[in-house]
Amino acid sequence: MHRRWIALAIALTFSGMTQAHETTPPSAPAAQAGADDENLWLDDIDGAKPLEWVKARNAETTAKYAEGQDFKTLEGRILEVLDSDAKIPMVSKIGDHYYNFWRDKQHPKGLWRRTTLDEYRKDKPAWETVIDLDALAATEKENWVWHGAQCLKPENRRCLVSLSRGGADADVVREFDLSTKAFVKDGFTLPEAKTLVSWIDDDHLFVATDFGPGSMTDSSYARIVKEWTRGTPLSSAKTVYEGKKTDMSIWAFRDKTPGYERDFVSRALEFYSSETFLRGKDGKLTKIDVPNDAETDVEREWLLIEPRTAWTVGGKTYPSGSLLAANFDDFMAGKREITVLFTPDAHTSMAGHSWTRHHLILNLMHDVVSEVRILTPAAKGDWKSEVLSGAPALSTMQAAGVDADESDAYFLTVTGYLQPTTLYYGVLGQGDREALKHSPAFFDASKYAVSQHFATSKDGTKVPYFEIAPKAMKADGTNPTLVYGYGGFEIPLQPMYSAGVGRAWLEKGGVYVVANIRGGGEYGPAWHQAALKANRPRAYEDFAAVSQDLIDRKITSPKHMGMMGGSNGGLLAGNMLTKYPQLYGAVVSQVALLDMKRYTHMSAGASWMAEYGDPDKPEEWKYIQTFSPYHNLKKGVHYPPVLFTTSTRDDRVGPVHARKMAARMQAMGLDASFYENIEGGHGAAADNKQSAFMNALAYTYLWEHLK
């Protein structure tokens, strides 16, 4: 259930803006594979010798790219955006208040604060500080990074606050009282771990965490979920469900919707396969009988089902990427009366959905451009459908319910590459929406134009891409062009405003391109599945096709074209570097997977075998090695200069990939630069200042090589 949330949490697209460092002991195949790996010593993430190497490489990169006046000016301009008081303070409703987490120059770690809707409507709302993270970090002498809060409905007085040391995925969880604005003395507290926790009631929690040796999966997530009673030691918590070591993760939660309170247990078998169970009052678990690769959502009387592959049930076949509805109680009783709410086509897919009290909001994409539909449930037959209009061309419009328990209110954001974000507030069925907030323009967009193009990949597939370029651009092959991509985990790259791209790239005369390659979610599950496992090279062929199309259209040429990507996009960057070096003048690979032979034994890597395959199986390593950049470097090949950036505190992908790749390339005499931020987690930055530095470093590096 809610696998899309997991995908975003575990495989989050990197935008460039502990116990957690423990790695799973390598199995025999992995250990043997490492026998000829000269850089295994860099696996010791916090070891003195590897960190000395990191600091030396950091100093080299800083001296070469981060000490000139142009760098300092760019860093300052990016930081100005990140610290700006004029940005939209996005909010979420908790009880009667609207909460926001805010960072600026005065509060680099951030404020968790709240206001009322009437105040929020004002240009300068009056905010009440709930937690000052900078003050808390100073008092407790911890580098706390905010990871969110979960509050107990319906009173919304007690919350579980998640704090990370330095930005790692692992959290410390502490109970907080919203009425006193203080942590609860002797309240629920969980030590640092990759924890999933949910309120049951005032005195009980579902807790999936590190309970000691053997309690975590190979993917470094919880294998066991327990029910914990207030005032008792965690060791006495009662087991609710216990999964296998080879599962990805286990967790449980209570749906607190008034009148529809239910407990669920979910078992993620792998990234795209899970089982969800309804837990009875007697503790008995009843599986929601849908395919394991289908995503489900339960809201009041409704069960929504999103099959990722075609599903035949009740004599009917429902296509991959569709959205289906059934009465939950009837479905659990064995009835299969299903209503089709959405059916994809060759150009249209679903990006997500959200409930209000009486309606269902569908966020759709037509050739990667947004469309929003409002559905009204019907007990039987077709649900009423209408379009929520108002999105400009080539833009992204996304709507979400504000509080599905209480109202039909919704927030709507509209944004585009050259269009600063606007936040609207409306109530479905009650007239026009109102514009609440406008993000300022951080660069002069009037000089540029956005266009969409389609490149033809090696197998004939049409691959869309967006181009943002100066209106006065000449198609003479000399324009510095940056191509960005991701292509994984069914995550789409839709148009969005980026002040950083505007200031760091467009204003300097560059062309910015976003490639919507296979592996992403731009056209639903099928677009993603087309680049899974043995088909992963399709994503790289798509990216190469987009790059070649830019050359053919004389927008740019190899010596003026660079590419950048992070996380799975960093793996993309590594493959464009090693498989298509002739296309680029420079490459930036951020928090990347690069050693695909041992990735399952690093940090959370085992959780991604459904995406890439299992390299410990010889038949799967045979195809995985074709897209393992670390193993595909060859002597005598001219590679473009490359910058690898990462974070010591990244406990998702880990810094070892980038360390080893840079070390091997440098030993081969190749132009490979490296920078590892000591803090920052998978985002590679723990605060705005660090983020500004990392962004400025990447863009400065590209300009130095492409101008």
Q: Which residues are catalytic?
A: 567, 682
Taking the alpha carbons of 618, 622, 627, 631 in that order, is the dihedral positive or negative?
A: positive
- The CA radius of gyration of the chain, in Å to the nearest whole number, is 25
688-706 and 48-65 helices cross at what angle (nearest 10)? Answer: 60
Instruction: Report the distance separating Cα 632 and Cα 638, nearest Å.
Output: 13
Instruction: Report the distance separating Cα 12 and Cα 645, nearest Å.
Output: 16
Instruction: Report the distance separating Cα 188 and Cα 199, nearest Å.
Output: 11
Pairing type for strands 302-306 and 323-327 reads antiparallel
Q: Which two tokens stand for residue 329?
A: 């109680």
Which of 236, 165, 228, 219 shows the shortest CA–CA distance to 197? 228
Q: Which residues pair with 463 in a beta bridge?
A: 455
Within 10 angstroms of residue 448's Cβ, the number of other Cβ atoms is 21
Q: Which two tokens stand for residue 497?
A: 């405003």
656-667 and 48-65 helices cross at what angle (nearest 10)? Answer: 70
Q: Which residues pair with 275 in a beta bridge?
A: 267
Pairing type for strands 285-287 and 295-299 reads unpaired
Number of H helices, E strands in the chain: 16, 39
Pairing type for strands 189-193 and 171-177 reads antiparallel
What is the enclosing helix (H) or strand (E) of 662? Answer: helix 656-667
Q: Which residues pair with 385 in a beta bridge?
A: 375
Q: For residues 650 and 659, is the Cβ–Cβ distance under 8 A?
A: no
Q: Which two tokens stand for residue 500?
A: 């950083």
| CA distance from start to end of the chain | 48
Residues with Cβ within 8 Å of 28's Cβ and at least 6 positions away in sequence, in order, are none
Which of 573, 349, 628 shows the shortest CA–CA distance to 464? 349
CA distances from 407 to 93, 196, 222, 301, 327 (A): 12, 28, 35, 17, 21
Q: Which residues pair with 106 in a beta bridge?
A: none
Which of 219, 225, 222, 217 shows the shortest CA–CA distance to 194? 222
- Which amino acid makes up residue 303? L
Instruction: Report the distance separating Cα 113 and Cα 119, nearest Å.
Output: 13
- H helices within 205-304, ranges in order? none
Q: Which two tokens stand for residue 451?
A: 């266009």
